[in-house]
Amino acid sequence: MKITDALVAEHTIFLTVFDQIERVLPSLTTQTEVGTMARIIEGLLKEHAARETSLAYLALDHILAEQGQMNRMHQDHHEIDARLKQVQVAKTCAEARRLLKASVIAAREHFRLEEKVIFPLLERVLHQDTLRELGRSWIERNLELAASRTM
C-alpha cells in the first residue's frame, strides 16, 4: 500500500466520523458535550497530522521549500488545531457548536486540497517504491500505536 492510499483511506474514515458528529451537533445542549466531540476530533487529527507530516510532508518539504507550497498545509493543521482548542473555552454552547462545525468544515477542505494537490504531487515526485515504503511505515506506526493502547 502506498502512503497516498493509506492517507486517503484515513481521510475517508475521518469524513465518516465528521458526518456523525455533524448529525448530532445540533442536538448537543452543553458545552461539555460539544467539548468532548472536539477532543475526539482533535485526538484523531493530531495523530493523523503527525504521521502525515513525518511520512509525506517531509518528503515534499525539501523539494518545495522555496516555492512555499507546503506552508498552506502546515498552516491549515495549526489553524484547525487552534479552532478545536477554542471550542473548550467558548463562552456559550452555541459558540462551541459553531467553532466545532467550522473546524469540521476546515478539515474537510484541507483533506480535499491534499487529495487534489499534495497527494498527486507525491505520486509524481516520489518513486513508487518510496511511496510503498512510506505506506509500510504508516502501517507499522498504526500497529505500534494500537499495541501501546492495549498495554
Nearest to 12 by CA among 44, 59, 46: 44
Q: How many domains does the chain have?
A: 1
Structural domain for 7, as ranges: 3-145
Domain presence at residue 132 = yes
- Give residue for cell 512555499: 68
For the whole model, what pTM was predicted? 0.88
Mean pLDDT over 2-27 rounds to 96
Distance CA 22, CA 27 (A): 10
pLDDT in tens, 18-76: 999 999 999 999 999 999 999 999 999 998 888 887 777 777 766 665 455 667 777 88
Is residue 99 one of the residues assigned to a domain? yes
In a domain, 150, yes or no: no
For residue 151, is it within any domain? no
Nearest to 38 by CA among 109, 108, 89, 74: 89
